[in-house]
Amino acid sequence: MTEVTSPLTSTPADPLQAGRAALASHDWASAFEHLTTADAAGVLHGADLEDLATAAFFTAQAEAGIAAKERAFKAWLDEGDPARAAYLALDIAREYAYLGKSSIATSWIRRAERMLGEGDSYAHGYLALTRAEAAAGSGNPDLALEEAMRAVEIGERTTDGDLLAFAQGTLGQLKIAAGEVDDGFALLEEAALAAVSGELSPFASGVTACRMIGTCRDLTDYRRASEWIEATERYCAKQAVSGFPGVCRVHRAEVVAVSGAWDKAELDLERATAELGAYNATPVQADGYYAIGEVRRLKGDLAGAEAALRDAHARGKSPQPALALIRLAEGKVKAASSAIDSALAETWDRWARARLLPAQVEIAIAAGDVERARAAAAEHAEIIAARPAPALRAAQAMAVGRILLADGDAAGAARELRTAVREWREVGSPYEIARTRALLARALRALDDEEDADLELRAALDEFRRLGAPGDADAAEREFRAAEERRSGPVQVRMTFMFTDVVGSTNLAEALGDQAWERLLRWHDDTLRALIAAGGGEVVKTTGDGFFVAFDSARRSLDCAISIQRALRDHRAATGFAISVRIGIHTAEANRRETDYSGMGVHVAARVAALAGGEEILATAETLAEAGVTSAAAARETTVKGVSAPVRVASVPWA
């Protein structure tokens, strides 16, 4: 075994001594250089290889760091210290878990378990931490709490500062997830104070402070988050700790985004996530990508937002509720409902659920499921009662306002939404203030208070434009135009209306199962929307499993219907199965209010669709005549519910 030269007898030129000195002064680059040189000479023992791994981390040499830890593991075994080797095995497992290599990570954990057996050494404390995190991830919070408490006890008994801080942080987060918010925060703050006071190793300090800030963010306690961000940045500057400033930049950018400075937040987040990639700081990098997705979503860059959210998901962070809200913005209400419901079904953490529930309220209201929205709001109210931060109170009032508005209680909705505006002002979130004002305008308009409604909607529109939120601004402008049309009366137009409907959808859903049905329905929705857009149609609204579409040309409507049936046929030929869709088309006069249409012509079109068979296009004589079609099957007269005169319809060939 190669002996380590004692620092007391080494010369200043000794690379091992120079490396140790550089590490002590946090000159990470020099430490990495000198220790690498010493390693090439074959003089590094287990402790020195751990130092090399630390220097590698802080100089963004992630692969070199893992390699050094793996060699340190073997060195400690050779040096007769299996406890330290087991500790290294658990640390290496964490590295591989961050890289998404779960099989390798599990193998290292099992090796550590075999080596340690029963006991209460500091290494057993780290094993308890590993087990706590695994139990939490598998949805077993009771076991997770038990193992985390054991880790805290061992940390206190062994006076291992890093272990105690890690354990307190884990236990604190688990307690908060279980609803014990005050106790959880007390543990997190105790650990974070040790971190920013320089009582821990640089790596443990960064992880612990990051955990504190992230928890504050998750509970929307932005004031507390800002305090700990500033304390962590001071620590990093004083201790010359690189890498973790990237963590702080992610969290600070999240707070900046709340204030409405989206361009700055996006730029800072992009820089921070790129930097963190070199440090293998996967969890916080995932947070950064999620935050980028949120900012882009608000800015109307839905494709860019989805790409960032998929990056976050690939690194282990759920893309919800942002991805579900993207689906809602795209008009894919069913997909949005499925996404948010699935996310909630997989989440036991109460505060993680609290972050999802306001989105479920919004999506459920859009889907017309007021009872589901009511249940979500009730659960959210119960959770936040433990720590009702302003942003949480604002989100609750906004959710209740949405529900009351859907129930027709405009006066109650206005009261709740005014409360939400006040709470969002305390948070300092101009975007949420504007969104709430837009909802408040609807409530006021339902109360015939047109002047105040216009005032609120104008304030919301101006803020959306200032922030650069094109989707919200467009929606506000449409509401203004709709209000003007209501005041001046509806506009009568001649349009061609098309209704589509999936035949036998209930039986299909039962036969395929929920997940397969949702995937097939998503393909159907995406395909039809693309064909409708390409054909010059406008989706007025979704109707169950179909669409209500308006065209300014009868010919275009028929061409679009034919393209839909052919696309379904081609899909059937390629896969052996496709949804059967019936289509009804009618050209008539109708009343238009903003983007909606009403009147007898719309009613007839819907009834014609109900008369069609699977894979059939059924059009009225008026549509065929206006389109100049002579090749349709012989027209027949039929009666339509609610219409006194018979309606002539014909099946349109498309094969």
Which three-class secondary structure string do you get for 467-526? Answer: HCCHHHHHHHHHHHHHHHHHHHCCEEEEEEEEEEEECCHHHHHHHHCHHHHHHHHHHHHH
Please name the helix (run of DSSP H) or strand (run of DSSP E) that holds residue 598, with its range, or none. strand 596-598
| Cβ-based neighbours of 229, under 8 Å, separated by 6 or more | 213, 248, 251, 252, 255
Instruction: Say if CB 500 and CB 549 are below 8 A apart.
Output: yes
For 299-322, give one letter per residue: b (16+ CB within 10 A) or e: bbbbebbbebbebbbebebbbbbb
Angle between helices 554-575 and 514-534 (to 10 degrees): 140
- Say if CB 652 and CB 632 are below 8 A apart: yes
CATH architecture of 491-651: 2-Layer Sandwich (3.30)
Q: So what's the pLDDT on residue 213?
A: 87
As averages over each run of 10 residues, the pLDDT of the chain (655 residues) reads: 39 81 92 94 91 91 93 96 96 89 95 94 97 91 96 95 96 91 94 94 89 86 84 80 66 87 93 83 89 96 96 93 95 90 91 94 94 97 89 96 96 97 93 97 95 96 96 93 79 94 83 80 89 94 89 96 94 85 96 86 94 94 90 77 86 90
Taking the C-alpha atoms of residue 362 and residue 176, their distance in angstroms, rounded to an integer, is 25
Name the residue type at position 159: T
The whole-angstrom separation of Cα 650 and Cα 637 is: 9
| Number of alpha helices (DSSP H) and beta strands (DSSP E) in the chain | 30, 8
Burial class (CB within 10 angstroms; exposed 0-12, middle 13-18, buried 19+) of 219: buried
Region of residue 488 (left: phi > 0; alpha: psi -120 to 50; beta: else): alpha
**pLDDT at position 242, please?**
56
CATH fit for domain 322-488, picks 1.25.40.10, 3.40.50.720, 1.20.210.10, 1.20.1050.10: 1.25.40.10
Give me 479's structure tokens.
Answer: 């509401």
- The string over 239-275, giving b where at least 16 C-beta atoms fall within 10 Å of a residue's C-beta and e elsewhere, is bebbbbbbbbbbbbbbbbbbebbbeebbebbbebbeb
> Where, residue-wise, is CATH 3.30.70.1230 in the chain?
491-651
Q: Which tokens belong to 526?
A: 């995406």
- In terms of phi and psi (left: phi > 0; alpha: psi -120 to 50; beta: otherwise), the region of 233 is alpha
CB 219 within 8 A of CB 351: yes
Q: What is the C-alpha to C-alpha distance for residues 569 and 547, in angstroms, rounded to an integer?
A: 19
Instruction: Answer yes or no: are the C-beta atoms of 222 and 390 closer than 8 Å.
Output: no
3-state secondary structure of 589: strand
Partners of 650 in the beta sheet?
Answer: 619
User: CA torsion sign, 206 to 208 to 209 to 211?
Assistant: positive
Collapsing DSSP to helix, strand or coil, 646 comes out as coil
Residue 288: Cβ-neighbour burial (10 angstroms; 0-12, 13-18, 19+):
buried
CA 328, CA 323: separation in Å to the nearest integer?
9
Distance (Å, whole) CA 134 – CA 174: 12
Q: Is the pTM of this model over 0.85?
A: no
Token pair 């307690």 in the structure block, residue: 175
Rounded Cα–Cα distance for residues 619 and 608 (Å)? 7
CA angle at 248 for the pair 34 and 246, rounded to the nearest 5°: 45
Tokens of 406: 């859907």
Q: Is 590 helix (H, G, I), strand (E, B) or coil?
A: strand
